[in-house]
Every structure is written in structure tokens, then in C-alpha cells.
Amino acid sequence: MTYTTQMDAARKGIVTPQMKIVARKENVRIEDLMERMAKGTVIIPANKNHKNLDPEAVGEGMSTKINVNLGISKDCSEIEPEMDKVRMALEMKAEAIMDLSCYGKTREFRQRLLEISPAMIGTVPIYDAVGFYDKNLQDITVDEFFDVVQKHVEDGVDFLTIHCGLNRHTADKVKQGGRLTNIVSRGGSLLFTWMEINQAENPFYEHFDRLLDICEEYDVTLSLGDGCRPGCLHDATDACQVEELITLGELTKRAWERNVQVMIEGPGHMAMNEIAGNMMMEKRLCHGAPFYVLGPLVTDVAPGYDHITAAIGGAIAAMNGADFLCYVTPAEHLRLPTLDDMKEGIIATRIAAHAADVAKGHPGARDWDDKMSKARAALDWNGMFELAMDPVRPKEFRESSKPEHEDSCTMCGKMCAVRNMNRVLAGKDIQLDD
């Protein structure tokens, strides 16, 4: 029996090689995995042309995944520095990389990325269209937009962010005002501009079936972009955001009719007390499709530290149903991130994802923490370093400030609670005064 996509295979009862790998990684029964994939609540982004992919699942009952953004731009068009970032993202166990390249040798970079990356790869084709055709945005034709999509999927991209839900009706809501930051989505703003200048409908909304044809052929997952995501706390959960979300839910059902896998992209900036409600709303309006969030950033006043504002929001979001977190670096809103920025962003996002998995009771998540606790109780420093999410930094801290006694640290010395409890429970003298 043949199948077109991972969703099609699940609905036909066919166990794919990707499903076997995912079931083992996630410690779930293959039957449960396939049932969720058939419903659309779990996806395995896996382009047929991405030959070295190590597949991951995103969605209901799966561990929370993280994504790293990178790519070349007009101001930073050198490929090699971005390839260094790719290698770091892979070393730090990011499950996905989004290539947001928008200028220069974008296809060369994308192809090199796919050659070395076992992580799933996503792109935003409209970014590439402007640089690829080297023409004004308003002059790009519908066929040219779709030709760029075709090139991306032929190269092996596993998921595409396309802002299909920002149609003329929702664009009118934006023009009515009330927002402090209008549209902050780069892809959303480009499509809004194209629609306004040409007085035409969003081509990806109007010709959605054409997009589904491409995705079905290559088994590419549609990441339905949130062009109206809030760019500040003030704009969260407004009519523009919610109306687009309703449209994305309608498009999700159309994609599922074609066995095309879908995830939904979400906010953005949002106060902490709104996050849980937004997660529930997305799952309801989009029929349980996996939810991919940027943050959410829980305050607007911490530039330079937005990896922290996003990690706080990401942990709350994932605990309440978000399935996939896009990392945010300290350089967010300020500049293209450096390697150091990337590391900070990846670690912050991995902390958020793991904390949420512990809260959700994902199989095996708590075991990692318990192993660390046992190593701490035993004052097993090397064991702690090996178990650490980032083994490098804690070891550097330890070596930079050596204690007098190996079974303590320079914070407490011989007054270390763990050291003294171990000694007293073993019947030994504590001896604090020598």
C-alpha cells in the first residue's frame, strides 16, 4: 500500500520509518502516535527530499520542541558565519532550524543547511522571493511567489511558514486602527503591502489549493503563519489576531482533507495572565492542531534580555498546550544574533521547554531532574556537569572559584548544607571551626 504524506500513512494504518523512530524517542505506543497523526494533533515534518533527517514529532503528548532562527540578510550576507550558527544549533540539540534568509545566495545557503542538518528545516518563502527576483515587492506575480515555494520544497524543506490567513477582510481590521504596533510579522507585513498596492487578495489564501498540491507531493508541513500576531502587550488577543486564527482553523480543515500536515503559529507579545486562554483558544479554533509560538514575550520593557521574557512566556504556554517554542535571543529587536546570543537563547528556550514537560508529566522528563538531584546530594560534581543542560558553563564556574574543601563550594564552604547533612547522617563530626 502506498501513501502520500505521513498523515495519509497514519490514516491508512501504515507504519513509516519516521513513525518508528519518533515512537522510540517519545516513549509512546506506535498505535497512539498514529491515532494522533491521523487526527492532525501530531505531525512529523519530513520532506521526502530531506535525506538525512532525524525525524521529530510535534503535538499532543509529545515533548516540547524548540526551533532556532538564522539565515543571511543584506546587512549580514556572508554564508560561513551562519553555517557556524547552524553547527552550534545542532550541537545544542535544537530539533528544528528555520532559515529566514532574505538576500544574497539564499539557495546556496539553504542547500548547504539541508546537506548537514538532521534537524527539521523550515523556511518562509516570501522572504526569499523579494531577494530572489531582485524586483519591487508589488511587481512579484502570483506565479513567481509559487515558483519560490516550489524551489524550497524541492530542496528538501520540511515545513513552510506561509501567512495564508491574512486575507483582505482581516487586513481591513488592521487598517481600522487601535493597535500600537500594527503588523510586526515580517511575512505578514510583506503580504499586507503586496495586497494594498495591488488591491488584490493574499495569493496564498486565494490559491490555497495550489499550495496544498505542492505540500502533498513532497510531504511538506504547512506552518500557518500568524501575520497579525501581537507585537506588544497592548495588541494581544485583539480582533485582528483572533479573526486570523479563525481563518487558520478553516484552512487547517482544508489541508487535512488533502492529508497535508499542519501546525499553527502564535503570539508574540502577551501578558502572562492571557497566555493560558490563548492556548486553549488556538486548540479549540484550530481543532487541536499543534501550536508553534514565538515566546510569548511577557513584557515589552526588557530589550537585551528578551530571551528571559520569552522563556517565561514559553514555559507558561507549553505547560498550557503549546507544542513548539521558537527561541528568542538577547538580541531580539536589536540586531542579528551572534553565536553567544544564540547560545543564551537556545538554553533559555530549552529550559522553558523542559520545565513545561515536567509540569505536563511527559514520560522521562522528571527522571532527568531526579538524576541531577541525586548527583547534588552526593556532591558528585562531574556527575552534575554531565547531566547539566549546558555542561560547559557550570564547569567553568566551578573551576573559576576553587573551594578549600572539594566537598563544598565557595558560597558556603564548610557550612554547606549538603556536605554537613551527609556527614552528620553518616555519624561523622561536622567540624565547622577549623
Q: How far apart are CA 244 and CA 166, in angstroms?
A: 6
CA distance 337 to 324: 21
- CA 412/CA 322 separation, integer angstroms: 40
Annotated binding-site residue? 286: no
The helix (run of H) or strand (run of E) holding residue 162 is: strand 159-162
User: Are residues 372 and 387 in contact, defined by beta-carbon separation less than 8 angstroms?
Assistant: yes
Q: What is the 3-state secondary structure (H, E, C) of 186-249?
A: HHHHHHHHHHHHHCCCCHHHHCHHHHHHHHHHHCCEEEECCCCCCCCHHHCCCHHHHHHHHHHH
Instruction: State yes or no: 416 annotated in a binding site.
Output: yes
| Angstrom distance (rounded) from CA 337 to CA 326 | 14
- Contact between 45 and 158 under an 8 Å Cβ cutoff? The reply is yes
Asked whether residue 240 is marked as a ligand-binding residue, the answer is no
3 state DSSP class of 69: strand
Q: Is 333 annotated as belonging to a binding site? A: yes
327 is in an annotated binding site: no
Is residue 69 annotated as involved in ligand binding?
Answer: yes
Q: Which amino acid is at 118?
A: P
- Closest among 367, 373, 326 to 350, alpha carbons compared: 326
The reply to whether 76 sits in an annotated binding site is no
Comparing CA positions, the residue from 124, 167, 159 lying closest to residue 289 is 159
Residue 287 marked in a binding site: no
Angle subtended at Cα 48 by Cα 44 and Cα 50, rounded to the nearest 5 degrees: 85
| 412 labeled binding residue | yes
Q: How many other CB atoms are found less than 10 A from the CB of residue 275?
A: 29
CA nearest neighbour of 256 among 248, 246, 267: 248
Binding-site residues, please? Answer: 69, 98, 127, 163, 185-187, 226-229, 265, 269, 292, 333, 409, 412, 416
Q: Could you list the residues known to form a binding site for substrate, using ranges.
A: 69, 98, 127, 163, 185-187, 226-229, 265, 292
- Going by the annotation, the residues of the binding site for [4Fe-4S] cluster are 409, 412, 416
- Binding-site residue set for Zn(2+): 269, 333
